[in-house]
A and B are shown apart, each in its own frame.
Chain A
Amino acid sequence: AQKITQTQPGMFVQEKEAVTLDCTYDTSDQSYGLFWYKQPSSGEMIFLIYQGSYDEQNATEGRYSLNFQKARKSANLVISASQLGDSAMYFCAMREGRVLGDMRFGAGTRLTVKP
């Protein structure tokens, strides 16, 4: 069964505006972690932000913030003040606490920032 769902194959945003990338997940575990990675055209995966299932506050890292709604099982990534260099694929991932080595990735969202 699909554990991570990213419903937006592609998104466009104007430079300097904010954009939200959607991610919903499915787990019966109480302990889990949610991650967002950025993949530029060069291919490497760059870690952006993490949210733990027990964290009460939404995670923030510079221009990145995670809108965590536990009851709805969503972990949307918000990028503020978009820059041209933000154009890339973005992947949401989840690791369930009891399963070692099992990080599940969504299909990704391709973000294009327009000048």
Chain B
Amino acid sequence: DGGITQSPKYLFRKEGQNVTLSCEQNLNHDAMYWYRQDPGQGLRLIYYSQIVNDFQKGDIAEGYSVSREKKESFPLTVTSAQKNPTAFYLCASSIRSLVAYNEQFFGPGTRLTVL
């Protein structure tokens, strides 16, 4: 089945450690996105990528890094520079288009907890 997978579902990290969240899609979408969601709040954009080997910062990119070496994969690294990394992280993908109406498809999310 086509879709987006994120692993792991739950992730625990010690303060000061970097951690990488996986996101893979087999929808043949060009565009991929990472969002952060804090309890009781909406989604905020961290990074997005429209094509391979290219990505752009979103609203809250500080303390995060990404890579896009393959169309199917868009891993997110939460670095030790991110001051409050405990949150729910959602990956999404969509058709790349300048037109507004392409919906984003979401993965199941990764819940990161810093101990």
A and B from one complex? yes
Distance in angstroms between the alpha carbons of A113 and B96 in the assembled complex: 37
Answer whether residue A18 sits at the interface, using C-beta atoms and an 8 A cutoff.
Answer: no
The answer on a CB contact under 8 Å between A105 and B43 is: yes
Answer whether residue A42 sits at the interface, using C-beta atoms and an 8 A cutoff.
Answer: yes
Instruction: Report the number of A-B residue pairs with Cβ-Cβ less than 8 Å.
Output: 71
Distance in angstroms between the alpha carbons of A16 and B109 in the assembled complex: 31
Chain A residues bordering chain B, tally (CB within 8 A): 29
Distance in angstroms between the alpha carbons of A47 and B58 in the assembled complex: 21
The answer on a CB contact under 8 Å between B103 and A35 is: yes
Answer whether residue B115 sits at the interface, using C-beta atoms and an 8 A cutoff.
Answer: no
Answer whether residue B104 sits at the interface, using C-beta atoms and an 8 A cutoff.
Answer: yes
The answer on a CB contact under 8 Å between A91 and B42 is: yes
Q: Please classify how large the interface on chain B is, using the bins under 10, 10 to 19, 20 to 34, 35 or more.
A: 20 to 34
User: Which residues of the partner chain B approach A50 to less than 8 Å between Cβ atoms?
Assistant: 101, 103
The answer on a CB contact under 8 Å between B101 and A91 is: no
A44-B107, A45-B106 as given contacts; A91 in contact with B33, CB under 8 Å: no
- Taking CB atoms and an 8 Å cut-off, the chain A residues in 64-108 that contact chain B are 91, 93, 95-98, 100-103, 105-108
The answer on a CB contact under 8 Å between A31 and B100 is: yes
Answer whether residue B90 sits at the interface, using C-beta atoms and an 8 A cutoff.
Answer: yes
Answer whether residue A43 sits at the interface, using C-beta atoms and an 8 A cutoff.
Answer: yes
A43-B108, A101-B48 as given contacts; A53 in contact with B100, CB under 8 Å: yes
Distance in angstroms between the alpha carbons of A115 and B113 in the assembled complex: 35
Answer whether residue B41 sits at the interface, using C-beta atoms and an 8 A cutoff.
Answer: yes
Q: Which 3 A-B pairs have the closest CB atoms?
A: A33-B100, A101-B48, A45-B106
Q: Which residues of B does A touch, CB under 8 Å?
A: 31, 33, 35, 40-45, 48, 50, 56, 58, 88, 90, 92, 96, 98-101, 103-109, 111
